[in-house]
């Protein structure tokens, strides 16, 4: 039986650039086998976070990182591991994720998932969930709230201490 998720961090950022700095810092603690779930309403900043994370891991701030809204997944061969970015907004049934290479992506690298609620019972219990929410205080101001198992706490502590 897995442990219940813990609150790991809660931070407010004022700009997309600040969101990008947090994403880059988080990228430095990721390892093959990790799964990061980006939860939030439309316009909450999930894709901006994903782009910043992927660009930082690639070491290329100009890398074209298309949103996989229509393709549902996009893979990247990064220096330290492979990453598959899933956008499950248009997914019909949770099991359809297997047609997108879910098993291979989970086994071979890091998975980054927008709209993880579409996974239903396939949602990895060990995943790090980052909930993004527009605060309304400013056009780009967001609250980022990290939730995950206790194994994430020591990995994230240097970023949020």
- 1 is a domain residue: no
Q: Domain range spanning residue 97?
A: 6-160
Query: Mean pLDDT throughout 64-90?
Result: 92
- The domain spanning residue 144 has which CATH number? 3.40.50.300
- 93 is a domain residue: yes
Looking at residue 44, its pLDDT comes to 84
Distance separating alpha carbons of residues 72 and 97, to the nearest angstrom: 9
pLDDT band of residue 69 (cuts 50, 70, 90) is: confident
- 29 is a domain residue: yes
- 73 is a domain residue: yes
SS3 state of residue 96? helix
Query: Mean pLDDT throughout 109-118?
Result: 96
Number of domains in the chain: 1
- 134 is a domain residue: yes
Looking at residue 129, its pLDDT comes to 97
- 123 is a domain residue: yes
């Amino acid at each position: 039986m897995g442990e219940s998720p813990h609150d790991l961090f809660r931070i407010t950022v004022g700009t997309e650039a600040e969101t990008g700095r947090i994403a880059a810092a988080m990228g430095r603690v990721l390892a093959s086998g990790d799964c990061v779930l980006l939860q939030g309403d439309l316009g909450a900043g999930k894709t901006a976070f994903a782009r910043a994370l992927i660009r930082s891991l690639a070491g290329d701030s100009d890398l074209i990182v298309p949103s996989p809204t229509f393709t549902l997944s996009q893979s990247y061969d990064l220096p330290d591991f492979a990453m598959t970015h899933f956008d499950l907004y248009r997914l019909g049934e949770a099991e359809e994720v297997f047609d997108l290479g879910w098993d291979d992506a989970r086994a071979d690298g890091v998975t980054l998932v927008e709209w993880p609620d579409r996974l239903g019972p396939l949602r990895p219990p060990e995943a790090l969930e980052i909930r993004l929410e527009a605060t309304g205080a400013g056009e780009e101001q967001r609250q980022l709230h990290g939730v995950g198992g206790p194994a994430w706490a020591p990995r994230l502590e240097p970023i949020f201490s």
